[in-house]
Structure 1
């Protein structure tokens, strides 16, 4: 990925945090947040670090699932996302902190578990990020994260990417395929973890859920305007963001209907012990 693509793909600013939190979180992230939170609770940790926390979907689920005495530290590279996360009340203390997952500002061996939901795909150097997670884990601690499976297994993302490819045939926006759905190969993930110093074999589990939206239009707005796909669309000449969103909504409606829509989503959950 070149520098310009990296900057575009990791830019969660402007209107993106609000739309992401309001539309994408219930559509995509809450079902997996609850899944991750239950897995965290099964480890009975005393101190938890979350990286790439976004607007706090997993943070809230973890806070609900864990006893009150457990310390929770939630970090993200984008302060705008953390600001949005902090707007939602949580009935317990959570330490929100802006931090780069490749340069964590924490002591060695200071957490029982490091959690990352759908953030690893955005790290420009994945072995380096895994090595940082390993560094801050206590011996016997666990790195727990999930990644989206290939785009063909995620129906809304696949439909919208295809629609935008037809809308911008000379230069199709490929953010969804390139980044959120670009890091699914289990052998690659296992190799990157080994490079980072994890000796144990990672455990993989594929988890399938359903993504639901009140309409095709809302699904299209969520993807086209509530993710960095927006940055990619807006950088192209010849059509507006609204036009691209409308074309995506029409494609979703053609495949899933004009009323409430329901599509398959699929991800891999990975756990590896230090």
Structure 2
């Protein structure tokens, strides 16, 4: 499952958590965690946990009444996530794992949660099948994906600006998170995996960043686009960031930046 578009390494996890978290992810993490049906003694699996943004909210809701196994393919993301948890988090276990080849027995979890991870799985159907396999009968599968990039303007702006610097072989990372904006293929994969009671909700939120400059740092230094730029023209990074910040400020304002966001939330049950 290793992929350049999923390589969150170096300082990226820290920048992702510090800058991208409040700008893009916190509101959707609150929503996803609130949808989990918490029960005493439950076992909860999170795939593609990243820096633990959803994990922290799940742990707060569960309050030690059950256990959480938080997994991600990228060990640096898991390592950073560990450092962000409260000291009394013995009920949370961290593990590096491939969501398309989970190292867990059949029917071993009451719920599986994944925030903005499915888009990065090279085999999306396999990731959904694995969630089904490890869920107990009646278990809940909850995940979200981004809507179309046209409805998420800050990422669209970043993609367009980067493209002007690389007319040949442009970095494409900014488009990857929006590759599953049509819910129907996902609905079909859920049904083929065996899931029932599928519910789909389109959810708009507003993110924020203190400034266009900070939003730019989030988008360039908190994602694998940084590696793509450094591979092609490392000397252009500062210029790319200045141009991106100017474009964000021109379209969305500055100090602070108000950021329209659009995502799709899926809920399903294993019969």
Asked whether the two chains share a fold, i.e. TM above 0.5, the reply is yes
For residues 95-106 of structure 1, what are the structure 2 equivalents within 5 Å?
95-106=93-104
TM-score normalised by the chain length of structure 2: 0.94
For the residues of structure 1 that align with 2:8 and 2:229, how far apart are their CA atoms? 14
Q: Is the counterpart of residue 233 in structure 1 residue 229 in structure 2?
A: yes
Aligned twin of 2:181: 184
For the residues of structure 2 that align with 1:97 and 1:264, how far apart are their CA atoms? 33
Shift in Å, 1:170: 2.8
For residues 12-51 of structure 1, what are the structure 2 equivalents within 5 Å?
12-41=8-37, 46-51=42-47
Seen in structure 2, the aligned counterparts of structure 1 residues 273 and 45 have a Cα distance that, compared at 3 Å, is farther
For the residues of structure 2 that align with 1:142 and 1:164, how far apart are their CA atoms? 39
Kept in 2, the 8 Å contact 1:41–1:66? The answer is no
Gapped regions of structure 2 (runs ≥ 5) = none
For the residues of structure 2 that align with 1:16 and 1:67, how far apart are their CA atoms? 29
Shift in Å, 1:190: 1.0
Kept in 1, the 8 Å contact 2:4–2:224? The answer is yes
Aligned twin of 1:253: 249
For the residues of structure 2 that align with 1:139 and 1:124, how far apart are their CA atoms? 27
Q: Which moved more, 1:59-68 or 1:108-117?
A: 59-68
Aligned twin of 1:217: 213
Aligned twin of 1:195: 192
For the residues of structure 1 that align with 2:207 and 2:41, how far apart are their CA atoms? 30
Seen in structure 2, the aligned counterparts of structure 1 residues 239 and 73 have a Cα distance that, compared at 3 Å, is same
Kept in 1, the 8 Å contact 2:209–2:256? The answer is yes
2:263 to 247, 261, 267: 267
Shift in Å, 1:237: 3.3
For the residues of structure 1 that align with 2:247 and 2:41, how far apart are their CA atoms? 45
Kept in 1, the 8 Å contact 2:203–2:263? The answer is yes
Kept in 2, the 8 Å contact 1:156–1:263? The answer is yes
Q: Deviations over 1:42-73 (max 9, x none)?
A: 67771100000000000000111124221111
Number of residue pairs the alignment of both structures matches: 268
Provide the aligned C-alpha RMSD in A: 1.7
Gapped regions of structure 1 (runs ≥ 5) = none
TM-score normalised by the chain length of structure 1: 0.93
For the residues of structure 1 that align with 2:41 and 2:209, how far apart are their CA atoms? 34
Shift in Å, 1:174: 2.1
Q: Which moved more, 1:121-130 or 1:242-251?
A: 242-251
SS in 2 for 1:240: helix
For the residues of structure 2 that align with 1:72 and 1:238, how far apart are their CA atoms? 40
Shift in Å, 1:257: 2.4
SS in 2 for 1:192: helix
